[in-house]
Homo-oligomer: A and B are copies of this chain.
Amino acid sequence: MNDRYAPDGRVDVMEDSIPFYQPVGQECELFERAFRHRLPLLIKGPTGCGKTRFVAHMAARLGRPLITVACHDDLTAADLVGRHLIGESQTYWADGPLTRAVRQGAICYLDEIVEARKDTTVVLHPLTDDRRILPIDRTGEQLHAPETFMLVVSYNPGYQNLLKSLKPSTRQRFVALTFDFPPSAVETRIVTHESGVEQAMAQRLVEVAQRLRRLAGIDLDEAISTRLLVYAANLIRAGCEPVMACIAAMVEPLTDDADTAAALKEVIRAGFAP
């Protein structure tokens, strides 16, 4: 498998089966080294900066199936490992996504791991130390993860939650890397590639986004993500007037506060003023 990414930001021709990912630093090498040495990986970064895409890209590059689980408040260990179901003549065991990933030697990606119930993170422990086993208490089975199994988890450290955080004893079990929004040139290229707008328009959108991100005294729970830039570009390509597209994609989804919205709109209007 050849390296297909270019650390300097060049967009290489990618085969259709490998999702487009525009690398920013050496994240691809680190992922691959962790994969080769069977180390679990923790990816930290804000919403919409490309973590999910990055994992999909790496799974395809490494030729492994990817099993993604969007974690949430009620996700329990049983949801990951499996449970007994009632069948025709007796109960049978139905593997959960984590168990399927271990059996197949797949990459298992737990998105927003901090959202999951605590028991789900602890069930990961025996998989993340040198034992690399998945004990299934309910059946008494104990699976040994094959060499190609890799566990990847992510969370957003900027979205503080008093009640939720990754337990230190869990974090300690991962090699970690931090994602952020890409630099201007890279982000422009992504917007162009994803939406099909002209590069000039993509560049204008990225400039507006960066001004919005730097806006002092604005209290948003989340910064404007690359994903929202792509949404705005999509609306524009669909015939929407740029200011209206930016409001629908970059202001309304981020705030309900009239003053905040007004400040954001002003920046947008200035950005598209002739």
Interface readout for A219-237 with B: 1 if CB under 8 Å, 0 if not? Answer: 0111001011001001101
- Pair B157/A256 contact, Cβ less than 8 Å: yes
Q: A169-B47, A171-B254 are in contact. Are A240 and B126 (CB under 8 A)?
A: no
Pick the contact of A91: B86, B129, B175, B221 (CB < 8 A).
B86
Which residues in B have their C-beta under 8 angstroms from that of A187? none
What are 21 A-B pairs at a CB distance below 8 A?
Answer: A30-B235, A30-B240, A37-B234, A37-B235, A39-B235, A70-B126, A71-B122, A73-B119, A73-B122, A74-B118, A75-B119, A79-B137, A85-B91, A86-B86, A97-B135, A111-B125, A112-B122, A112-B169, A156-B169, A172-B227, A175-B235
Residue ID in chain B nearest A248 by CB atoms: B175
Residue ID in chain B nearest A160 by CB atoms: B256
Which residues in B have their C-beta under 8 angstroms from that of A39? 231, 234-235
Provide the bound-state CA to CA distance between A202 and B171, in Å.
Answer: 22
Q: Does A239 contact B (CB under 8 A)?
A: yes
Residue ID in chain B nearest A90 by CB atoms: B88
- Pair A123/B254 contact, Cβ less than 8 Å: no
The count of chain A contact residues (Cβ–Cβ below 8 Å) is 91
Interface readout for A107-132 with B: 1 if CB under 8 Å, 0 if not? Answer: 00001100101110111011001110
- Pair A89/B88 contact, Cβ less than 8 Å: yes
- Pair A222/B87 contact, Cβ less than 8 Å: no
- Pair A140/B175 contact, Cβ less than 8 Å: no
Q: Does A23 contact B (CB under 8 A)?
A: no
- Pair B176/A222 contact, Cβ less than 8 Å: no
Min CB distance, A78 to chain B, in Å?
Answer: 9
Count chain B CB atoms within 10 A of each CB in A118, A129, A231, A254 and give the residue with the most: A231
Min CB distance, A147 to chain B, in Å?
Answer: 14
Which residues in B have their C-beta under 8 angstroms from that of A234? 37, 39
Which residues in B have their C-beta under 8 angstroms from that of A53? 130
Provide the bound-state CA to CA distance between A72 and B72, in Å.
Answer: 17
